[in-house]
């Protein structure tokens, strides 16, 4: 009898999750058609959350409808419910195995959940159906990226672009690859191309904004991502990028508002939650930071790799909280050792609290590397005169001579408005190390501020010649185009 | 056949954009002949490639790749290798590249398919539902396990559990509503509705209606009135997507534990399915669902017979709709008089092959029906 009871419980449990219904054939057919139209319309508007319920109902009744299952998969993927999307695509592809885009979408969903081995066959199938199909090559390139085979990935992206010069995702993905590799110049070129061939391509605008942000082109970054937000207001990724750009600019309030806007769209949005956690951490509100991580981690849609990443970040916040609490207590009670103060100053600097970091470090009477660190904190805190005092002294006493100290001192002098002395410091730096990249750029800046455009242009050109793909190359090219438009940079 | 087995190397994944000059290739070509594209592979499986060239000596070597890694290099025909695809069903990318002595190459790629097999238990317990009839097609009651022997690919197995199955059943009632059913629709409705009344209160059923489109009219319920309303509402129109409907029924029953059955009524052959017959037959073999098929009028008997007998079910053929009532009654009777039989398989090789099952009665006058086998995929048998 025990056997029978178990079976009954299982059967009943199986039904609990189902939304049972029964209806007449004619009504079911009409309703399925209406629901499919409603869902597809919502999907086309980019409103994936609204598209899912009608498409789920349509797919649950129109059992051999390819569009019902395919659009359901697309909408679920749009809503980051990748595992459910894979189930829907599986049925869609059973019904129409030769559907090119469905094969690619299935690959994309597998990639999103971090299953490269399942993703690759989907793209290969699409490539078999239509050789040199750009979305398939682009998908395979992302597979190669995930397998850390960057060369092969780049070759495949280029094949995708050779096959379809108007295929914006390949420009975007290749640009993103360069962006992550720190090759900002190449990244910007490709991303600009992506939004040129498809001006309404949100992911391209998103990555371009991020690249501009990394280059320090704040205005361009904000304008670009605002355009993406305008085009795709329901995509939290664009709000996340705006938050990231603003965070990079030190605009915590604006960044926080943008991340909040992202989680208003998707409460578990991992980037939004991570951004808010970072802001809370910088404010020293560790409990809030952990709340944000927990909200993101509670989301069953979170892919494994992203989950691991967030869990690691959460761990580091927990560790930082424990360390900060102990250090603050010792500082407050007067029992802190100099090492405690050095550690706490590093934590404060990590939150962007440079003023306090400098004070804590200063109180330890720092020597050597710690003194250099103090100069940096003072610089970041805007206390340029104090920073200059230390840099000048360190540069004068360094044996052997160090170009980087001279550059830092020059940059500090420039912030004090003493461009003549700053120029001398940069020249000393370049005498020590003629390849010093920032020395050249800053020297050019000093000339420019003093009105010596020709010397500035010479310094900039020298920089570009030595570092054509350097981190400041794009900025320098733009300045050169302004000051010496007739000459090719 | 001289073979050079080399260490597995991570190599360029995608074939070189086989953008070689056709003239230069001069008919040099490679084609993977086994496994077939979209087949499923498990365990140690032979990969074969056929190379065409002006002379066999033109072929320098053939490299075989699985998942972008070289697994074998063959320098002489036949170009083949054995690769162990493991016990888990998944999609694989298999590539073969043939290199011409003059330095150019051609390639072929196939992608295999993942097979979906439901499983509930870790132990390798095989469960069968068995129907026993005598020479006059009467169902036999009150039997014990001593009356039966079970063979897997000819090897005897030890029966662990055997009892008359009285637990609830989950059922899909599948009705053809293609245009050709128009004249007989009233009788079909009445017969299907009376079949609903044979369900016990604890049984559950769903209703699928199909022409060229397949619709779920009623999800699983034990509400007889709702089920009867659904089966009585079908309207005859359109072509016949028979295989799509059967696949949908298998899909709807997937994940539900216990005895499951599909009771299908159709008056014609498939004319508009997106699924092919082979896929449906594979599904019938992979899932533990009894299929009872009723062919009304002039239908291709072999399809319904093969499919249903593969699952341990049965096909019935009637000339007129007025005979449907009797057939539905017979199916209901069979479902009420079946035996549950389980055993722990002696199979230890999980290589995806189809293991043939045979349940024999010790009484030679009796006929025993049960599913004809299962795929040797780990975790797939305890359903």
Condensed to tens digits (0 to 9), the pLDDT of residues A143-162 reads: 999 999 999 999 999 999 99
Shortest Cα distance, chain B CAs vs residue A29, angstroms: 7
Contact at CB, A62 and B252, closer than 8 angstroms:
no
- Of B37, B91, B218, which is closest to A22 when you measure between CB atoms? B218
Q: Tell me which residue in B10, B216, B258 faces A7 most closely, judged by beta carbons.
A: B258
Whether this prediction's pTM lies above 0.90 is answered by no
pLDDT at B378: 74
State mean pLDDT over A117-140: 96
pLDDT over 60 (residue A13)? no
What span, in angstroms and rounded, lies between the C-alpha atoms of B172 and B274?
20
A20–B219 C-beta distance less than 8 A: yes
Q: Given a cut of 50, is residue B10 above it in pLDDT? A: no
A12 touches chain B (CB under 8 A): no
Confidence band, pLDDT 50/70/90 cuts, at residue A259: very high
C-alpha span between B234 and A141 (Å, rounded)? 49
Question: Quick one: average pLDDT of B148-166?
Answer: 94
With a CB cutoff of 8 Å and minimum separation 6, the contacts of B76 are B1, B2, B3
Which residue, among B73, B123, B120, B65, has the nearest Cα to B94 in the 3D structure?
Answer: B65
- Residue A2, chain B, CB below 8 Å: the answer is no
Average model confidence (pLDDT) across chain B: 88
Question: Considering only CA atoms, which of A297, A299, A300, A321 is closest in space to residue A311?
Answer: A297
Percent share of chain A, pLDDT over 90: 78
What pLDDT is stored for residue B379 in this prediction?
A: 61
pLDDT tens for each residue of A397-437: 999 999 999 999 999 999 999 989 999 999 999 999 988 88
| Chain segment B267-302, per-residue pLDDT in tens | 878 988 999 999 999 999 999 999 999 999 888 899
> What pLDDT does B17 receive?
40
Phi, psi for residue A286 in degrees, rounded to 5: -65, -35
At residue A8, the pLDDT reads: 34
All residues at 6 or more sequence positions from A489 whose CB lies less than 8 Å from its CB, including other chains: A460, A461, A464, A476, A477, A480, A481
Asked whether A39 and A65 are in contact (CB, 8 A), the reply is no
Block residue for tokens 């059943």:
B169
Instruction: Grade residue B118 by pLDDT with cuts at 50, 70 and 90.
Output: low
* Cβ-defined contact of A22 to B257 (cutoff 8 Å): no
Question: How many Å apart are CA B161 and CA A298, to the nearest integer?
Answer: 43
Confidence of residue B6 (pLDDT cuts 50, 70, 90): very low
pLDDT at A22: 66
Q: State chain A's mean pLDDT as an integer.
A: 91
CB B295 within 8 A of CB B320: no
Q: What is the ipTM of this complex?
A: 0.84
What is the least distance, in Å, from the CA of A39 to any CA of chain B?
Answer: 18
Q: Do A259 and A272 touch, CB atoms closer than 8 A? A: yes
Cα dihedral A200/A206/A207/A208 (nearest 10): 70
The sheet that has B155-157: what strands, in order across it? B155-157, B148-152, B354-361, B373-375
pLDDT digits (tens, 9 = 90+) for A437-466: 888 899 999 898 888 999 999 999 999 888
Nearest C-alpha of chain A: how many angstroms from B302?
Answer: 24
Summarised one tens digit per residue, pLDDT across range B17-76 is: 444 455 567 789 999 999 999 888 998 999 999 999 988 899 999 999 998 899 999 999
pLDDT in tens, B302-328: 999 999 999 999 999 999 889 999 999
Is pLDDT at B7 greater than 70 in this prediction? no
- For the stretch A398-415, what's the b/e string if a residue is b when 16 or more beta carbons lie within 10 angstroms of its beta carbon? eeeebbbbbbbbbbbbbe
Say whether pLDDT at B381 is over 70: no
């Amino acid at each position: 009898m025990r056997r029978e009871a178990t079976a009954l419980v299982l059967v009943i449990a199986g039904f609990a999750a189902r939304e049972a219904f029964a209806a007449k054939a004619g009504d079911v057919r009409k309703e399925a058609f209406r629901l499919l139209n409603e869902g597809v319309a919502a999907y086309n508007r980019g409103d994936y959350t609204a598209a899912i319920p009608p498409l789920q109902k349509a797919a649950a009744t129109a059992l051999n409808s390819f569009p019902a299952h395919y659009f359901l998969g697309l909408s679920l993927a749009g809503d980051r419910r990748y595992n459910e999307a894979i189930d829907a695509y599986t049925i869609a592809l059973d019904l129409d195995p030769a559907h090119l885009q469905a094969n690619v979408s299935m690959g994309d969903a597998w990639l999103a959940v971090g299953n490269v081995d399942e993703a690759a066959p989907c793209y290969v199938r699409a490539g078999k159906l239509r050789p040199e199909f750009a979305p398939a090559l682009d998908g395979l390139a992302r597979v190669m990226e995930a397998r850390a085979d960057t060369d092969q990935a780049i070759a495949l992206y280029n094949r995708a672009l050779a096959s379809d010069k108007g295929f914006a995702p390949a420009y975007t993905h290749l640009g993103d690859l360069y962006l992550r590799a720190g090759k900002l110049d190449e990244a910007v070129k490709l991303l600009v191309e992506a939004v040129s061939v498809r001006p309404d391509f949100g992911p391209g605008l998103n990555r371009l904004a991020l690249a501009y942000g990394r280059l320090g082109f704040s205005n361009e970054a904000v304008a670009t991502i605002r355009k993406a937000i305008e085009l795709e207001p329901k995509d939290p990724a664009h709000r996340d990028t705006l938050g990231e750009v603003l965070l990079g600019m030190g605009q915590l309030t604006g960044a926080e508002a943008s991340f909040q806007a992202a989680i208003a769209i998707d409460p578990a949005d991992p980037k939004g939650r991570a951004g808010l956690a970072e802001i809370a951490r910088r404010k020293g509100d560790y409990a809030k930071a952990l709340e944000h991580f927990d909200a993101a981690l509670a989301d069953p849609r979170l892919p494994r790799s992203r989950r691991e990443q967030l869990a690691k970040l959460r761990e580091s916040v927990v560790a930082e909280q424990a360390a900060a609490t102990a250090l603050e207590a010792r500082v407050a009670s007067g029992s802190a050792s100099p090492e405690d103060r050095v550690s706490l100053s590093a934590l404060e600097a990590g939150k962007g609290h440079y003023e306090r970091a400098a004070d804590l470090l200063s109180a330890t009477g720092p020597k050597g590397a710690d003194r250099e660190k103090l100069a940096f904190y003072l610089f970041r805190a805007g206390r340029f005169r104090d920073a200059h005092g230390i840099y000048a002294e360190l540069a004068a006493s360094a044996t052997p001579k160090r170009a980087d100290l001279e550059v830092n001192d020059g940059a500090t002098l420039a912030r004090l408005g003493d461009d003549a002395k700053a120029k001398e410091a940069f020249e000393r730096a370049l005498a020590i190390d003629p390849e010093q990249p920032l020395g050249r750029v800053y020297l050019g800046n000093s000339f420019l501020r003093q009105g010596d455009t020709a010397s500035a242009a010479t310094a900039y050109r020298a920089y570009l010649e030595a570092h054509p793909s350097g981190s400041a190359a794009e900025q320098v090219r733009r300045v050169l185009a302004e000051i010496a438009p007739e000459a090719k940079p | 056949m001289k073979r050079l087995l080399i260490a597995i190397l991570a190599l360029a994944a995608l074939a070189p954009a086989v953008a070689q000059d056709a003239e230069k290739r001069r008919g040099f070509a490679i084609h993977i002949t086994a496994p077939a594209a979209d087949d499923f592979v498990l365990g140690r499986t032979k990969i074969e490639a056929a190379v065409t060239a002006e002379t066999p000596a033109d072929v320098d070597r053939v490299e075989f790749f699985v998942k972008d890694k070289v697994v074998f290099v063959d320098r002489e025909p036949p170009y083949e290798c054995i690769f162990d695809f493991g016990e888990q069903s998944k999609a694989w990318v298999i590539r073969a590249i043939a290199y011409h002595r003059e330095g150019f190459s051609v390639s072929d790629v196939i992608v295999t398919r993942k097979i979906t097999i439901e499983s509930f238990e870790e132990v390798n317990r095989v469960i069968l539902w068995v129907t026993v009839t005598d020479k006059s097609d009467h169902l036999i009651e009150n039997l014990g396990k001593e009356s039966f022997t079970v063979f897997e690919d000819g090897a005897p197995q030890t029966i662990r559990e055997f009892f008359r199955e009285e637990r609830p059943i989950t059922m899909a009632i599948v009705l053809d509503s293609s245009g050709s059913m128009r004249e007989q629709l009233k009788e079909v409705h009445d017969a299907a509705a009376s079949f609903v009344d044979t369900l016990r209160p604890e049984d559950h059923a769903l209703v699928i209606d199909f022409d060229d489109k397949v619709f779920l009219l009623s999800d699983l319920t034990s509400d007889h009135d709702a089920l009867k309303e659904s089966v009585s509402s079908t309207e005859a129109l359109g072509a016949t997507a028979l295989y799509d409907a059967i696949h949908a029924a298998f899909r709807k029953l997937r994940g539900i534990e216990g005895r499951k059955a599909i009771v299908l009524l159709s008056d014609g052959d498939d004319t508009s399915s997106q699924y092919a017959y082979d896929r449906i037959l594979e599904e019938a073999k992979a899932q533990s669902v009894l299929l009872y098929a009723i062919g009304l009028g002039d239908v291709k008997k072999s399809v319904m017979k093969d499919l249903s007998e593969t699952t341990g079910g049965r096909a019935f053929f009637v000339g007129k709709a007025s005979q449907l009532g009797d057939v539905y009654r017979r199916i209901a009777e069979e479902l009420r008089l079946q035996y549950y039989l389980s055993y722990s398989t002696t199979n230890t090789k999980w290589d995806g092959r189809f293991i043939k099952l045979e349940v024999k009665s010790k009484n030679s006058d009796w006929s025993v029906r049960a599913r004809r086998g299962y795929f040797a995929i780990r975790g797939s048998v305890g359903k």
